[in-house]
A and B are shown apart, each in its own frame.
Chain A
Amino acid sequence: MLRNYLTVSLKILGRRKYFTFVSLFGIGFTLLVLTLAAAMLDHVFGAYPPETRAARTLSVQAVRMQGKESTSTGPAGYAFYDRYFRDLPGVERLSLMTQPSTVVSYWKGARLKSILKRTDENYFRILDFDFSEGGPFGEADVESGRFVAVINETTRQKFFGAGKAVGESIEADGQTFTVVGVVPDVPVYRLLANGDIYVPLTTAKSDDYKTKLRGGILALFLAKDAGSIPLVQQEFKARLSKVELPEQFDRVYAMPETPFASVARLFFGDFESDSASGRLLALLLTAAFLFMLLPAVNLVNLNVSRALERASEIGVRRAFGASARDLMLQFLFENVIVSVVGGVLALVASAFLLAALNGSGLIPYAHFSLNFRIAAWGFGFALAFGVVSGVWPAWRLSRLNPIAALSGGTR
């Protein structure tokens, strides 16, 4: 029976070219925008190399310290993690890194801009960089504050052209580093892994950071396995009460979590509860639904106005005993099929657009692509759109009076 419906709906698609075009344009465009948004969000928050251990990686991007009169929200300082969270149970490794900062190099009379990250040896053990040359810096390098650097492919190109980089020196932020390794470019929207130049934390110009509870440091926790994440979070929360705060504060909130949860927390400014990520997801889905509304009304209008086309068919089917419910399901199914066709078109178009965006260089090192997860989101949007825009016309059509329908009327 579904096969019959499918044949009928494809037949109708082929019948009136103008209406097919208008329907598919509306559906395809709507789903294109939604698919693109889903693809981008997936690339920002999903698991992509070098974050191959994302399932058991947690990060703390910001902490909130609260007192009677003042509140401070932002990245914690080095001392915050160094003093209280070094040996958390369930955690295999902890890596601390500075927020990415933009630095300038003056190289052979030119001005080169790079993103610099100061970090430690564990960074390269938590993130799985695929070194194309050399390797990471190690514990000894960090301990003794050696001026060594891991650079990405583009930085190697900028400084050394096609030549080898390992063993050469580069100048950045007024300091000189010896290159020890080259890694692939990481897109700029991957907040934890991106960077042009990675150097040891201990090469900072001043040691002030070591005593700071607030400012500039992000933490990466690698849990022993995904199952011990709740334990890590629980223990982290318990230890917060041990932190000796600056005198203007009496409470502190933070949580090691996924990047999406961190962003949600900052977006709502909600540090007390842990429900922010659910709310952000709900907000995004509501926005997607609202965006569907105008195209859906447009399609509903079009379909209702075409009721006459189907009048004789409806009359015949009703006369032969099909119930209104049968008809309603048929029309709904047809609309979903058309939406899925639009969804497939949107998926194809979005592949081209994402490739164009990667090539345009608008977003540094952008590497957007489609994958199974994004296709599933696209399919979900198509289904939702098909149902939202199909229910009302299906109901209207299924209620047509069979006698009037057979004689060609629509009232």
Chain B
Amino acid sequence: MIRHLFKLIWNRRRANFLVVTEIFVCFLVLFAVTTFGLYSVRNYYRPLGFDYSRVFSVNLEFDQSLGRDGRTSRTGAAAAEPVAENPHESRQRALLELLKSDPSVEEAAWGWPLPFSHSNEVHSTEFRGRDVSYSLARVTDEYKSVLGIEITRGRWFSPEDDASGYEAYVITEALARQAFGDEDPVGKSFAADRNPGEAPPRREPRVVGVMRAFHQEGEMDTEENYALIRLDYASIRMGRTAGIALRMRGTPDATVEARIAKSLQAAAPDWGFTVEPMAMGAELNRQMYMAPIGVGAVVAISLILMVGLGLSGVLWQSVTTRIREIGVRRALGASAADVRHQVMGELLVMATVAMALGVGVVLQFPFLDLLGPVPKSVFFAGLSLTIVALYALALLCSLQPARLATTVHPAEALRYE
């Protein structure tokens, strides 16, 4: 039966070639949409890694160049020596103390970049012979209690890391898996591979603990590899840290926010401060992510609707053209169901051919390692869903033309000119 259908399709190959092309392109569009949709849904339900309700972020504006633009004086005088230590140390300590003494602040920590800040620092290094890339934030010891970070292995930063000769890291489970495999990373060095003759870093990076996850920009952030690095007030890094995270008591309103902004401004008049509930940043990110998805979904659905209507039109037309063929079949004893199956079967066979081509094309992505952050499971789930949906679409399109074909009376059809 199917072999016979193939023969029929082959005989009309010029017309059918276009139908196959159309289903093929449609397959690619549908596949992109379903895979991306599944990926987004999956991302939405992962653990975020921290709790931003009742957390305020304070973004600071101050001179962070620390003399690095020093040679730019009008006279072209000798370069100012780059500063070796943090010139803002005493002020940064004082500001945090000031915040902690506020009755509505439960805990406060310095850190940069803060969640929902839209800035990120990415490190791409070679570690144990493999490329490892991760985003990072540098934070002080209070950060864990401010954001409620969950430690799964090892420990969080503690004063014992002071003057210990290493730089303490807490990394996500995903980063631990990628960098260390099945090995327990706690206590291990995280120093990048060095070329022979290259000097070791001044302070060796060392993993002291592992956290469940940390998606800095919220639920939809695709970065899985994240590291928190302990800040030391005296270090030059601290001098560039321009964020404070605050955990508040109860549900603070705008008056509390205003009071905090005002007291910070009074303590450091030449610095800029912007206080904002983190939940607002989270909401903004969600909207920024959802808007293009919504537009894309509407466009894709309209495209597929258009293809559906078009295909059923083509099929309808082909039934009209082949009315004599159908008449002959009916006259030779084919039942209405037989004819219906033929019309539907032809479209399904063409859909199968188109999808075989499509699957062949998209399978190149995992083979060539082009999936990016999309996991293989999501890819294959998207692929299966697309195949099911496209068969459903093909069936739906062929229903009406197939019904039409069965209404043909054999005697009339044979007379038809």
A interface residues with partner B (beta carbon < 8 Å): 18-19, 21-22, 25-26, 29, 33, 77, 79, 83, 102-104, 106, 109-111, 173-174, 205-206, 208, 211-215, 244-248, 293-295, 297-302, 304-306, 308, 362, 408, 410
Contacts and interface: CB of A to CB of B under 8 A. Distances in A.
Interface string B51-95: 000000000011101001111111010010000000000000000
Nearest to A83: B74
B299 A33 contact: yes
Given A18-B313, A22-B313, A205-B272, A301 B22 contact: yes
A113 to B, nearest CB: 9
A21 B312 CA distance: 13
11 contacts: A25-B306, A29-B302, A103-B274, A110-B254, A174-B272, A205-B271, A244-B72, A245-B71, A294-B22, A295-B306, A362-B291
Nearest to B262: A174
Interface string B29-66: 10000000000000000000000000000000111010
Contact of A300 (B18, B26, B65, B270): B18
Given A106-B254, A293-B25, A308 B321 contact: yes
Contacts of A306: 317
B18 A297 contact: yes
A174 B261 contact: yes
A298 B417 contact: no
Q: Which 9 A-B pairs have the closest CB atoms?
A: A106-B258, A305-B317, A298-B310, A174-B265, A206-B270, A111-B254, A208-B63, A305-B314, A22-B309
Nearest to A18: B313
Nearest to B271: A205
B273 interface: yes
Given A205-B272, A247-B79, A293-B25, A305 B257 contact: no
How many B residues are at the interface, by size bracket? 35 or more
Contacts of B257: 104, 106, 111
Nearest to B307: A298
B21 interface: yes
Interface of B: 15, 18-19, 21-22, 25-26, 29, 61-63, 65, 68-74, 76, 79, 253-255, 257-258, 261-262, 265, 269-276, 291, 299, 302-303, 306-307, 309-311, 313-314, 316-318, 320-321, 417
Contacts of A110: 254
Contact of A211 (B26, B73, B276): B73
B303 A295 contact: yes
B317 A247 contact: no
Nearest to A82: B74
A304 B261 contact: no
A134 to B, nearest CB: 27
Contacts of B273: 174
Nearest to A106: B258
A294 B274 contact: no
B284 to A, nearest CB: 10
Contact of B19 (A102, A294, A301): A301
Contacts of A410: 321
A297 B22 contact: yes
A340 B77 CA distance: 67
B313 A79 contact: no
A211 B253 CA distance: 39
Q: Which of A22, A25, A29 has the most CB of B within 10 A?
A: A22
Contacts of A18: 313, 316
Given A26-B310, A305-B321, 13 more contacts: A22-B313, A29-B303, A109-B253, A110-B254, A174-B265, A206-B63, A211-B73, A213-B72, A298-B22, A298-B310, A304-B18, A308-B320, A410-B321
A346 to B, nearest CB: 12
Nearest to B28: A294
Contacts of A21: 309
A294 B71 contact: no
A104 B57 CA distance: 13
B5 to A, nearest CB: 19
Contacts of B70: 246
Given A294-B303, A299-B310, A173 B272 contact: yes
Contacts of B269: 205
Contacts of A308: 317, 320-321
Given A83-B74, A110-B254, A298 B306 contact: yes
A246 B15 contact: no
A214 B70 CA distance: 12
A406 B318 CA distance: 19
A214 B69 contact: yes
A301 B314 contact: yes
A106 B271 contact: no
A247 B18 contact: no
A116 to B, nearest CB: 10
Contacts of A295: 303, 306
Contact of B72 (A22, A211, A304): A211
A247 B270 contact: no
A83 to B, nearest CB: 6
A119 to B, nearest CB: 17
A106 B29 CA distance: 48
Given A106-B257, A293-B25, A247 B73 contact: no
B72 A246 contact: yes
A173 B275 CA distance: 10
Nearest to A297: B22
Nearest to B310: A298
A301 B265 contact: no
Contacts of B254: 106, 109-111
Q: Which of A79, A174, A208, A410 has the most CB of B within 10 A?
A: A174
B60 to A, nearest CB: 11
Nearest to A295: B306
Contacts of B68: 246, 248
Nearest to A112: B254
Nearest to B255: A109
